[in-house]
Amino acid sequence: MSQHGFRRWLSRYRYYGRSHEIRDPVRELFLFRKRLWLTGLAMLLMFGVLLGRSFYLQVVAHQQYQTQAENNRIAIVPVGPSRGTISDRNGVVLAQSFSAYTLELTPSRTGDLETTLAQLGELIEITPRDLRRFRRAMEESRNFNSLPLRTKLSDEEVAQFAAHKYRFPGVDIRARLYRQYPFGETVSHVLGYIGRINERDIEKLTKSGGLLNYKGTDHIGKTGIELSYEKNLHGIVGFEEVEVDALGRAVRSLTRVPPIPGDHLQLTIDLRLQNLAEQALGDSNGAVVAIDPNNGEVLAMASTPGYDPNLFVEGIDFANWERLNTSPDKPLLNRPLRGAYPPGSTIKPLLALGALISGKRTADYAFNDPGYFELPSGTGTLHRFRDDKVGGHGYVDMAKSIVQSCDTYYYILASETDIDDTARFMSQFGFGQKTGIDLEGEAIGVLASRAWKRERFSGPRYREEHRRWYLGDSISAGIGQGYNNFTPLQLAYATATLANDGVSYRPHLVKRIIDGSTGQTKDVLPEETRRLDLKPAHLAVIKKAMIDVNREGTASRIFKGAPYTSAGKTGTSQVFSLRGERYIESQVKRHLRDHAWFIAYAPAEKPIIAVAVLVENGGFGSRAAAPIARALFDYYLTGARPAVTPKPDENDVDWEE
Amino acid sequence: MQIRDTLFVVWLRFTRHVDGPLMAIVLLLLAVGAVVLFSAVLPDTGRFIQQMKSIGIALVVMWVVANIPPHRLAQIALPLYLIGVLLLIAVALFGVTVNNSQRWLAIGGFRFQPSELLKLAVPLLLAWYFQKVEARINFGNFLIAMLLIALPAWLIKRQPDLGTALLVSASGFFVLYLARLPWKTMFLMVVTAVPLIWLFAHGYQKQRVLAFLDPGADPLRSGYHTLQASIAIGSGGLTGKGWMQGTQAHLDFLPERHTDFIFAVYSEEFGLVGNIVLLMLYVALLLRSLMIASHASSLFGRLLAGAITLMLFTYAAVNMGMVSGILPVVGVPLPFISFGGTAMLSLFICIGILMSIQTHRKLVST
């Protein structure tokens, strides 16, 4: 574009066409001021808009922003209640909660995790075990959870860390509640244990609508009393309104709705009796249940071997779990509650009572025992059911059949009694059903009847001949063998019912519930479950015979010199069918040996304790099981102290790997 | 008696070039600023002391500038501009790179950002230039002026520092406007500038604009600042939560609370009532400045004072607009309130220039 062309282009703008003219200063000033004050107007307009915005935010929408600011500022932190204490009937603490300082780490909020761990390690002792535990917890949880790294810090360690806290974002010291079972394996099956809340627990809590109450809780009852009385023991969650900063750190507490601590439970268990039972069982696998027949209070409920519930609280490690779970001795099994065994001869007194009531036998009826009973079998030959005494017991009446435990008497009785009648009678004593004890997971065992067998062998795998009831089945059942399987608890309950002349109470383990906050106590009242219409004359025959068992019969050696009268019945139940061979204990592998049973109550005139003792593979009931009952009675009735008194374990919460 | 008279004369000489109304308004703004800054820097009161020192130095500088007559200021316009541009070139060649942008010159351990200088040098130069050609301003002069703006703006833009480039451009543009650039041309400039700016803008800058358009969509990232600032202002309500009682500020929800977002702290703690007071102080400041511009005796004075007024307005309005969520987030401090020594110094040089223009009027016009 030429110089000339550029000027012509410029001249198109009229104003600039006159650009060579000298401008009028007054007009110039006027035009300047016009523009200047125009901007002034624009400024005022903008400030008006800003004011309007301010008005909108601070007046019109104030409430909304106020709420948002409060939501920013205030976090509601649940405060878990302190779990109730469990004690024995005399107040000895069996499970307690305590608060301890824990060093906790939120992985998402720390910088480099490894560096943080290393630096923390210089400040506070962190063992490789702590680290392993922490890493495992990290794998199981999400990053924004606060995870325990070291527990039970000393006051010095807390102070030490507090001084250096600024160096460790995402690391905090928190007071956490721990559960401790001071007696370790003692009473372990009754107490059960608590463990970390897992997915399944959350699901259950969601269904029951109780999840909110667990907002501040890490643990929940998993088995035993801890499970059954979870509602009482747990308490009610509290809440704390905390002011937090933008990083979510609590700055100060605003309001606090304190949690309501869980109820304390006083058990019916007598720790010394319990301990005595466990020690008496010793290395054997077995079960002891002792019940007060007058109210159903369970005085002792032992199961051996036991386990240390402390191992489970913070999550059991693999090695221990493997050991407990795969041991052939099944230490995790609560034998009295869930173990079902053939009752053996222990049911003879009840079968005799049934015969008296039905009129199948009188007390005086007697026969000459050849030492066996023969039953024609399908092939035309005779099947011989042996008595354990070769050559027989001689002339046997009802009393003698109990005192000497004569099998032949009951073979014959069974051959003459319909199994369904027997089952109906036995069910009155609680067999084949739950006793209703306040523990979850109670087994019902087997009370055999025609209907039961049909049901049991239903399905395409079985044929009609499997489902039919044979007379031979009845004969076996007649001496407590065959299909019948009862739990030690059921036997103790039946014994208590018999001891109390047919009046039974629901067995229970909790004697008293003490409100966690008010301290008000609520006694658990005896709950009558049955009142059997038994003739005193019939009862007298049976009870007299049972007294004689301990006086001159199968258990007489054991109860020699006892300063009280007791009544009992031994039992030996076969684990393994010898098919006609003679049973020689020493020649049979241990786990195939007979189970030893003993049921008893005392004092015979006015019973206050009824027991069922089972020693798995213990051989004869009189030898293995009866001494345990004797020891319990001696202690309970005369106060004879057991040789060793239980002591709390010094190592409270166990953090063993 | 004589001593009192002497003192009086000294006082008169001392305050001869200090504009009373402007000084009063600025002191009130400083008072508000000190109050809110004390709360905003908590718990680091050291920063408060630092700011008070900066203000002290800035006041002295202001007094010195106020005593320089405008024609002397006009004389240094061209050298200042040339130095500024040379420094910008130096930055491009030897500058220190921080956060991927080359903005600083390091001279003996002291870091210096020449682009700040241009915010003042550009309007100064243009005012001087238009005064020089006052009698016959034509479109060619405007084109030259635009080039004078574009050169430093481009140098700053390529650092890259789009924000400062825009502010420098704006300061020059205000002079063009006041020198009566035709409306049509102005409109064309704006229409072409907007897409250009968008083209030059960085991803994060575009993000901010988008976040501004919908702050709730992305509350934890780009829009977070704006949202938290709105919550702070809104929750302040009519009379505020009280001095040092702002929860948004003191629990760290507000970002940059003692610098760019200090208005949110103020609004939260003093509410709508406080905002009205602050807006009124700014309006008073601007009105006084406009008056000075309007009454200035030379075209240089008029253009410079007017451009300074518009710059002050821009800073205040953009900052408050950004904090209250009606403008996108740009890093502009709130005049006289935000923490920062350099900004305070620049502001007081501007105030000094305004005072100089106002108080040297009679001397020049005679």
Kindly determine whether residue B234 and residue A65, on different chains, have CB atoms separated by under 8 Å.
yes
Kindly determine whether residue B276 and residue A13, on different chains, have CB atoms separated by under 8 Å.
no
Written as six digits, the tokens of A312 are: 């489970």
The answer to whether residues A403 and A533 belong to one domain is: yes
A25: left (phi over 0), alpha (psi -120 to 50) or beta: alpha
| Interface with B, mutate which of A65, A66, A70 (most B CBs under 10 A) | A65
Quote the number of domains for chain A: 3
Specify burial of residue B273 (Cβ count, 10 A radius: 0-12, 13-18, 19+): middle
The answer to whether residues A575 and A552 belong to one domain is: yes
In a domain, A21, yes or no: yes
| Residue whose tokens read 């007697």 | A366
Interchain CB contact of A73 with B (< 8 Å): yes
Q: How many CB atoms lie within 10 A of CB A299?
A: 26
Kindly determine whether residue B178 and residue A32, on different chains, have CB atoms separated by under 8 Å.
yes
Kindly determine whether residue A44 and residue B180, on different chains, have CB atoms separated by under 8 Å.
no
B287: nearest CA in chain A?
A: A40
Domain end point (choices A267, A287, A309): A267
Q: How many CB atoms lie within 10 A of CB A30?
A: 10
In a domain, B222, yes or no: yes
More confident residue, A585 or B344: B344
| Interface with B, mutate which of A35, A46, A57, A243 (most B CBs under 10 A) | A57
Q: Give the CA angle between residues B234, B236, B240 to the nearest 5°.
A: 155
pLDDT at A350: 94
B269: nearest CA in chain A?
A: A58
How many contacts (CB atoms, under 8 Å) link A and B? 146
Q: Which one of A13, A39, A57 has the shortest CB-CB distance to B234?
A: A57
Q: How many CB atoms lie within 10 A of CB A489?
A: 29
Strands A264-267 and A86-87: parallel
The answer to whether residues A223 and A369 belong to one domain is: no
Assign A656 to helix, strand or coil.
Answer: coil
Interchain CB contact of A579 with B (< 8 Å): no
The answer to whether residues A587 and A622 belong to one domain is: yes
Helices (H), B16-44: 20-41
Q: Which domain holds residue B313?
A: 20-360
Please check the confidence at residue A594 and state whether its pLDDT lies above 50. Answer: yes
Interchain CB contact of A16 with B (< 8 Å): yes
Q: How many CB atoms lie within 10 A of CB A117?
A: 18
In a domain, A651, yes or no: no
- Flag whether the pTM goes above 0.80: no
Assign A288 to helix, strand or coil.
Answer: strand
Taking the CA of residue A59 and the nearest CA in chain B, the distance in Å comes to 6
- Going by the DSSP 8-state scheme, the letter that residue A592 receives in this structure is G
Query: Can you tell me the mean pLDDT for A479-487?
Result: 90
Kindly determine whether residue A32 and residue B320, on different chains, have CB atoms separated by under 8 Å.
no
In a domain, A69, yes or no: no
The answer to whether residues A499 and A529 belong to one domain is: yes
- Give contacts of B324 with chain A, Cβ < 8 Å: 50, 53-54, 57
pLDDT tens profile B220-237 = 445 677 888 999 999 999
Strands A171-180 and A93-105: antiparallel
Query: Can you tell me the mean pLDDT for A131-157?
Result: 76
Residue ranges of A 150-169 with Cβ closer than 8 A to chain B: none
The answer to whether residues A263 and A344 belong to one domain is: no
What single string gives the DSSP state of each residue in A614-629? EETT---HHHHTHHHH
Q: Which one of B271, B279, B321 has the shortest CB-CB distance to A58?
A: B271
Domain end point (choices A267, A295, A329): A267
- Binning pLDDT at 50, 70 and 90, where does residue A464 land? confident
More confident residue, A643 or B110: B110
Written as six digits, the tokens of A405 are: 């435990």
CATH code at A183? 3.90.1310.10
In a domain, B340, yes or no: yes
Query: Can you tell me the mean pLDDT for B279-293?
Result: 96
By percentage, how much of chain B surpasses pLDDT 90?
55
How far apart CA B331 and CA B51 sit, in angstroms, is 19
How far apart CA A339 and CA A335 sit, in angstroms, is 4
Please check the confidence at residue A608 and state whether its pLDDT lies above 50. Answer: yes
Q: Which domain holds residue A9?
A: 3-60
How far apart CA A47 and CA A45 sit, in angstroms, is 5
Active-site position among A188, A345, A449, A573 = A345
Interchain CB contact of A31 with B (< 8 Å): yes
Domain end point (choices A239, A267, A295): A267
Residue ranges of A 173-232 with Cβ closer than 8 A to chain B: none
Query: Can you tell me the mean pLDDT for B37-59?
Result: 91
Written as six digits, the tokens of A15 are: 């104003």
| Interface with A, mutate which of B137, B139, B294 (most A CBs under 10 A) | B139
Q: Which one of A22, A65, A244 has the shortest CB-CB distance to B231?
A: A65
Q: Letter for the amino acid at A467? A: R
pLDDT at A590: 66
Kindly determine whether residue B252 and residue A247, on different chains, have CB atoms separated by under 8 Å.
yes
In a domain, B10, yes or no: no
How far apart CA A144 and CA A109 sit, in angstroms, is 7
Q: Give the CA angle between residues A377, A379, A380 to the nearest 5°.
A: 70
Please check the confidence at residue A657 and state whether its pLDDT lies above 80. Answer: no
How far apart CA A314 and CA A390 sit, in angstroms, is 57
Compute the mean pLDDT over every residue in chain B, rounded to the nearest whole number. 88
The answer to whether residues A158 and A260 belong to one domain is: yes
- Give contacts of B138 with chain A, Cβ < 8 Å: 10, 16, 19
Q: What is the CA radius of gyration of chain B?
A: 21
- Give contacts of B238 with chain A, Cβ < 8 Å: 58-59, 62
pLDDT at A578: 46
* For the ranges A31-40, A149-158, B155-164, the one whose mean pLDDT is highest: A31-40
The answer to whether residues A25 and A166 belong to one domain is: no
Please check the confidence at residue A42 and state whether its pLDDT lies above 90. Answer: yes
pLDDT at B91: 87
Specify burial of residue A54 (Cβ count, 10 A radius: 0-12, 13-18, 19+): buried
pLDDT tens profile A305-318 = 999 999 888 778 78
Please check the confidence at residue B18 and state whether its pLDDT lies above 90. Answer: yes
In the beta sheet, which residues pair with residue A100?
A: A176
In a domain, B190, yes or no: yes
Kindly determine whether residue A54 and residue B321, on different chains, have CB atoms separated by under 8 Å.
no
pLDDT at A196: 84
The answer to whether residues A171 and A91 belong to one domain is: yes
Residue A154 falls in the annotated catalytic set? no
More confident residue, A14 or B91: B91
In a domain, A388, yes or no: yes
pLDDT at A652: 37
Give me the helix-helix angle, B139-157 and B162-178, nearest 10°. 170
Written as six digits, the tokens of A461 are: 């795998």
How far apart CA B57 and CA A200 sit, in angstroms, is 69
Q: Residue B74, Cα to own-chain centre: how many angstroms?
A: 20
What single string gives the DSSP state of each residue in B168-229? HHHHHHHHHHHTT--HHHHHHHHHHHHHHHHHH--HHHHHHHHHHH-GGGSTTTTTHHHHHH
Kindly determine whether residue B276 and residue A51, on different chains, have CB atoms separated by under 8 Å.
yes
Q: Which one of A15, A50, A62 has the shortest CB-CB distance to B237?
A: A62
Query: Can you tell me the mean pLDDT for A551-566?
Result: 89
Kindly determine whether residue B137 and residue A20, on different chains, have CB atoms separated by under 8 Å.
no
What's the number of CA atoms in the CB half-sphere (13 Å) around residue A419?
24
B307: nearest CA in chain A?
A: A36
Q: How many CB atoms lie within 10 A of CB A152?
A: 15
- Give contacts of A64 with chain B, Cβ < 8 Å: 234
pLDDT at B214: 66
pLDDT tens profile A232-255 = 999 988 888 888 777 667 777 778
CB B335 within 8 A of CB B150: no
Interchain CB contact of A66 with B (< 8 Å): yes
pLDDT tens profile B113-127 = 888 889 999 999 999
pLDDT tens profile B160-210 = 888 888 899 999 999 999 998 888 888 988 888 888 888 877 777 777 777
Q: Letter for the amino acid at A350? A: L
How far apart CA A70 and CA B253 sit, in angstroms, is 12
| Residue whose tokens read 């304390």 | A264
Q: Please provide residue A129's backbone torsions phi and psi, each rounded to the nearest 5 degrees.
A: -65, -45
Kindly determine whether residue B182 and residue A40, on different chains, have CB atoms separated by under 8 Å.
no
pLDDT at B329: 80
Written as six digits, the tokens of A608 are: 């206050």
Taking the CA of residue B219 and the nearest CA in chain A, the distance in Å comes to 13
The answer to whether residues A227 and A277 belong to one domain is: no
Q: Which one of B137, B234, B309 has the shortest CB-CB distance to A62?
A: B234
pLDDT at B288: 96
Tell me, what's the ipTM?
0.92
A251: nearest CA in chain B?
A: B251
Query: Can you tell me the mean pLDDT for B296-301?
Result: 91
Q: Letter for the amino acid at A561? A: G
pLDDT tens profile A337-375 = 999 999 999 999 999 999 999 999 998 999 988 888 888
- Binning pLDDT at 50, 70 and 90, where does residue A648 land? very low
More confident residue, A166 or B63: B63
Please check the confidence at residue B312 and state whether its pLDDT lies above 90. Answer: yes
In a domain, B167, yes or no: yes
By percentage, how much of chain B surpasses pLDDT 70?
93
In a domain, A647, yes or no: no
Compute the mean pLDDT over every residue in chain A, rounded to the nearest whole number. 85
Kindly determine whether residue A66 and residue B237, on different chains, have CB atoms separated by under 8 Å.
yes
Interchain CB contact of A20 with B (< 8 Å): yes
What single string gives the DSSP state of each residue in A192-226? --EEE--HHHHHHHHHHT-GGGGTT--EEE-SHHH
Lowest mean pLDDT segment, chosen from A382-386, B338-342, B361-365: B361-365
pLDDT at A57: 93
Quote the number of domains for chain B: 1
- Binning pLDDT at 50, 70 and 90, where does residue B49 land? very high
Please check the confidence at residue A647 and state whether its pLDDT lies above 70. Answer: no
The answer to whether residues A247 and A323 belong to one domain is: no
Kindly determine whether residue A54 and residue B294, on different chains, have CB atoms separated by under 8 Å.
no
Q: Which one of A15, A23, A251 has the shortest CB-CB distance to B251?
A: A251
The answer to whether residues A225 and A303 belong to one domain is: no
In a domain, B117, yes or no: yes
- Binning pLDDT at 50, 70 and 90, where does residue A655 land? very low
CATH code at A307? 3.40.710.10
Q: Letter for the amino acid at A539? A: L
